[in-house]
Amino acid sequence: MKKNKCVFLDRDGVLIKDVGYLKDPADIIVLPDVASSLKRLKNAGFVLIIITNQAGIAKGFFTEEDLKNVNNILLNIFKSDGLIIDDLYYCPHHKDGTVEHYTIACDCRKPNTGMVLKGVGKFNIDLKKSFMVGDKDSDMLLAKNSGIRSFYIKNEMYEHDNSVIPDFTVFNLKEAAEIILSINSAL
């Protein structure tokens, strides 16, 4: 069976504005050119999977229900624009949480590979033909740990440690999508 190629997408700071522990759907701000860029990737045959660390749940800043609500509204914003995201995985855990149920050292919190492997199993993904787009070192490290090429979206919000070298550095998702599409068409 032919394997699929995938773009794994961080949520906050890549698709929507990173407002820090987003709880209120009114604070969802989709970044410029995101929907159109994702549509181009989808049309080129990429599976689109959002993978997001949401330790705010373990830390008691919001509940899993709050998160699901925000995610559903985001997916519906895309849907009403004609864009279907194939899947979305989140990690609610943190080893130093305050909510007991979620306070564990898990294998899904990025840079651990749990969420990527979940997608690989479900969509029969070829990681060598896949990409990760994120705005934190944990996203880049996840890509490295998974054997995926990485795009780092440059930002002032998070410190970028030079020990984690992304394959590409860009300013936004649109730029990442253009490079992915050009690599893809050369294959």
Q: Is 142 in the site for Zn ion (CB under 5 A)?
A: no
Would you give the DSSP letter of residue 125?
B
CA distance 37 to 28: 18
Contacts (CB under 5 A) with Zn ion, residues 93-112:
93, 106, 108-109
Half-sphere exposure at residue 85, Cβ-oriented, CA atoms within 13 angstroms: 27
Q: Spell out, one character per residue from 122 to 141, where the chain touches Mg ion: x when CB under 5 A holds, - when not.
A: -------------x------
Respond yes or no: is residue 12 known to be catalytic.
yes
- Is 4 or 87 the residue whose CB approaches Mg ion more closely? 87
The C-alpha torsion from 47 through 49 and 122 to 68, rounded to 10°, is -140
Q: Is 11 in the site for Zn ion (CB under 5 A)?
A: no
Report the candidate in 104, 160, 130 with the shortest Cα–Cα distance to residue 51: 130
End-to-end CA separation in angstroms for the chain? 19
Contacts (CB under 5 A) with Mg ion, residues 13-52:
13
13 binds, among Zn ion, Mg ion, none (CB under 5 to 8 A by kind): Mg ion
Q: Is 91 in the site for Zn ion (CB under 5 A)?
A: yes
Active site residues: 10, 12
